[in-house]
Amino acid sequence: MLFNTIDFVIFLPIVVVFYYVIPGKFRWIFLLIASYYFYMSWNVQYIYLILFSTIVDYLVGLRMGNLSSKKAKLPWLIISITMNLGLLFTFKYLDFATENLNIIFNQIGINKQLPIFHLLLPVGISFYTFQTLSYAVDIYNNRIKPEKHFGYFALYVSFFPQLVAGPIERFDKLNPQFKQKTNFTYQNFANGGRLILYGLFIKMVVADNISGFVDSVYLTPQLYHAVDVWKAMIFYSFQIYSDFYGYSLIAIGSAMLLGIYLMDNFKTPYLAKNIAEFWQRWHISLSTWFRDYVYFPLGGNKTTTSFWLRNIIIVFVLSGIWHGANWTFFIWGALYAIIYILEKIFAKYIKAKDRVSPFSITHLLLALKTFVLVTLVWVFFRSPSFSDALEILKAAFRNWGVFEKTLTIPLSTTVFFGLFILSDILLYNNRFDKWIDKKPYVMRWSIYGLLLFSIIVFAGVENFPFIYFQF
């Protein structure tokens, strides 16, 4: 059940109405049933995996809660990590690992080919396994107490708005909200609705309308003029942003309708002045997860330079391969590590100022530099293989005399693309619901009308699944 389908348009209001009608102490049961129903709408069998992960981490959590020393807890933590990463490895990386082993066998002359299983990747597995992992690690570090109520813990793992593509929430932020009795408030209803409306707009009208052009160029870059290839690369930067940002806003808005607050996942990342800031603004729930559960435990930056370099490389490469089992994601992560390190060294060398006024010339130039770098790095993320990525980059820098195909972009797509960029600038360090709340009634409703009209009339109808659902 995708957020941008009629199924969800029917499902969400039903859940919201029943949620407030049901007495507070029983709401968790209803939300859990609704979440499992939501998840099973993809594939009924997926539920066994999420149940397995939930039961193991619930029991591990309880066991660790009874132990005081970290040494005693460690075996239980290892069980949780092995189970969660084992699930992730089996469904996400096993075929990739096998294919690469087969290549190695072939090259060293071993006449043995391991079988490829072609396992279907369960939706959201990368997100909920990270969520349950953080739960186990936090108990191990005495940051939180284990949840004794299985139902509440199961709801933490499966809460439907953020189940399939985040934001990856921490237990201590989400779980208490399930337990407190939330009354229906107009403000939550209005803000949730606003976020859903804006999220649907940027997903269905912006992302879904530009995806076709990106697909065409990425399929046969050699036939397009370099300018068109650059257009497609820039379009992809905005496609993935509006697709995932749109999804996140709908998730946050849907939860808000139920009086539950999820963390922000994006904060105008393309206005970041450098890569470090970009990652503080892009997929925040994932980058903070890697910061807290990988980077800091490795020593972060409070260590020697060589270890710091190692830590940076490990975090970015892991973040890359978290997205998918492909060398392109590895390269994507590694490139970020290199740029991040170079920027840090460069900033130290020129003694760059930390504070730059928003929208000053310096800010805009730095943001442009960051955007160009990110756009170039996205090529590896979008391409199915390393050689395909090189084809795109070659075409972007060499195809100045190629005119076999032309990228014709309709006026409406250009207008919506421009509106999205404008809105992103307007929403710098702000969020749509808070921004529009301060506008006069007529202006507010005019904007609602325009968004609604655009969603109904201009929504893309060809490519619609959310990009991050595949991870």
Partner 1 sequence: MRLIVQNIIYRILTFTLLLFLINYVYVHFFYDKDLAKHSDLIAIIDKIPDSTDILYVAESSNTALAEDDIDRRTIAEFLDEALPGQKVNDLTKPAAHAGIYKVLLSAIPETSNIKTIVLTLNLRSFNAQWIHSSLETSLQKSLVFLKTESPLLNRFLLSFKGYPIKSEREQEAAFKAKWLADPLQFPYNFEHQNVSEWDYWMAINGVKNDDGTTNQALTELACHYIKGYGFQIDTLTNPRISDFNEIIQLCRERNWHLVLNLLAENVEKAEILVGSDLTYLMDYNRDLLVAYYSRKGVLVVDNLETVPDKYFIDQNWTTEHYSDAGRKAVAEKVASVIEQNAKLFK
Which are the catalytic amino acids? 323
The answer to whether 178 touches 260, Cβ cutoff 8 Å, is: yes
Q: Report in angstroms how near the CB of residue 454 gets to partner 1 at its nearest.
A: 10
Residue labelled with tokens 């590590």:
337
Q: Report in angstroms how near the CB of residue 4 gets to partner 1 at its nearest.
A: 7
Amino acid letter for position 356: V
Q: Report in angstroms how near the CB of residue 42 gets to partner 1 at its nearest.
A: 10
SS3 224: strand
Cis amide prior to 167 (ω within 30 degrees):
yes
Q: Report in angstroms how near the CB of residue 438 gets to partner 1 at its nearest.
A: 17
Q: Residue 93 or 448: which CB sits closer to partner 1?
A: 448
Over 399-428, what HEC string results?
Answer: CCCCCCECCCCCHHHHHHHHHHHHHHHHCC
Rounded distance between C-alpha atoms, residue 427 and residue 419, angstroms: 12
Q: Report in angstroms how near the CB of residue 456 gets to partner 1 at its nearest.
A: 5
Rounded distance between C-alpha atoms, residue 45 and residue 43, angstroms: 5
Q: Judge residue 81's burial from the number of C-beta atoms within 10 Å of its C-beta, 0-12 exposed, 13-18 middle, 19 or more buried.
A: middle
DSSP 355: -
Q: Report in angstroms how near the CB of residue 171 gets to partner 1 at its nearest.
A: 34
Residue labelled with tokens 């590895």:
330
Residues that bind partner 1 (CB under 8 A): 2, 4-6, 9, 204, 445, 448-449, 452-453, 455-457, 459, 461, 464
Cα distances from 5 to residues 35, 45, 449, 459, in angstroms, run 17, 22, 20, 11
Q: Residue 60 or 249: which CB sits closer to partner 1?
A: 249
Q: Report in angstroms how near the CB of residue 5 gets to partner 1 at its nearest.
A: 4
SS3 463: coil
The neighbouring-strand residues paired with 224 are 405
Rounded distance between C-alpha atoms, residue 401 and residue 407, angstroms: 15
Q: Which two tokens stand for residue 437?
A: 């709340």
Q: Report in angstroms how near the CB of residue 449 gets to partner 1 at its nearest.
A: 4
Q: Residue 78 or 450: which CB sits closer to partner 1?
A: 450
DSSP 468: G
The answer to whether 58 touches 136, Cβ cutoff 8 Å, is: no
The answer to whether 208 touches 459, Cβ cutoff 8 Å, is: yes
The answer to whether 399 touches 229, Cβ cutoff 8 Å, is: yes
Phi first, then psi, for residue 153 (nearest 5°) are: -65, -40
Neighbours of 426 (CB within 10 A): 11
